[in-house]
A and B are shown apart, each in its own frame.
Chain A
């Protein structure tokens, strides 16, 4: 079974520029998560999708971050404009669980390391 695919692996941008990350979850997984992992910290949930609908975006800085999941499959996360404090690894994860059913085994991609200079 193919894992969660993310691209690019690395990205360096200047502050105030925009950047986009792409995620292809495991086939058939209904739930998709975007996490931000700052160096030395645990992952922090930014947004959670169930199919193509948002079920939790309470920690997403909506003035600069946006995300979408087209047709309930692939997802993109965008930052515009980027700040220095956005430097982190952005992890995408997917889970086979339907909202409200079952436990929560999340499968993670390798992440995109963003450096804002």
Chain B
């Protein structure tokens, strides 16, 4: 059962472009939405996270936009660089009282061309 749907599967942009990755969720009990970045041969690493009481969060060149009513959230990579080429996963977590289980989306492979 895929509870977090992610799109697109892959994305190619030129250096300086803004890749946008979208995720949608079904379970309204989710209350924590992290994004993970994964390079080949490495485990995922936390990039940025947001809670549903906030509509936008920025950390450096990475921005999360959150639309609670639509049950959607997205990642924007501003001024993208070749070093940002990686696979990005959105995820969602149930409330702490439910055990902090993390559910991942299918991933988006981003390629930033020089």
Where the two chains meet, the residues of A that have a C-beta atom closer than 8 Å to any C-beta of B are 4, 31, 33, 35, 40-45, 48, 50, 55-56, 91, 93, 95, 97, 99-111
Closest B residue by C-beta to A41: B106
Tell whether, in the assembled complex, residue B32 and residue A45 are in contact, meaning their CB atoms are under 8 Å apart: no
Find the A residue at minimum CB distance from B93. Answer: A104
Range for the number of chain B residues in contact with chain A: 20 to 34
Residues of A contacting B: mostly:
loop
Closest to B94 in A: A104
Given A104-B93, A105-B46, A105-B49, verify A45-B102 contact (CB < 8 Å): yes
Residues of B whose CB lies within 8 Å of any CB of A are 4, 6, 32, 34, 36, 41-46, 49, 51, 89, 91, 93, 96-97, 99-107
Q: With a CB–CB cut-off of 8 A, which chain A residues contact B106?
A: 41-42
A56/B105 in contact, CB under 8 A = no
Q: Which residues does chain A contribute within 8 Å of B44, judged by CB atoms? A: 43, 91, 108
* Nearest-neighbor residue (CB-CB) of B91 within chain A: A42
A31, B43: Cβ atoms closer than 8 Å: no
Contact of B102 among A40, A50, A106 (CB under 8 A): A106
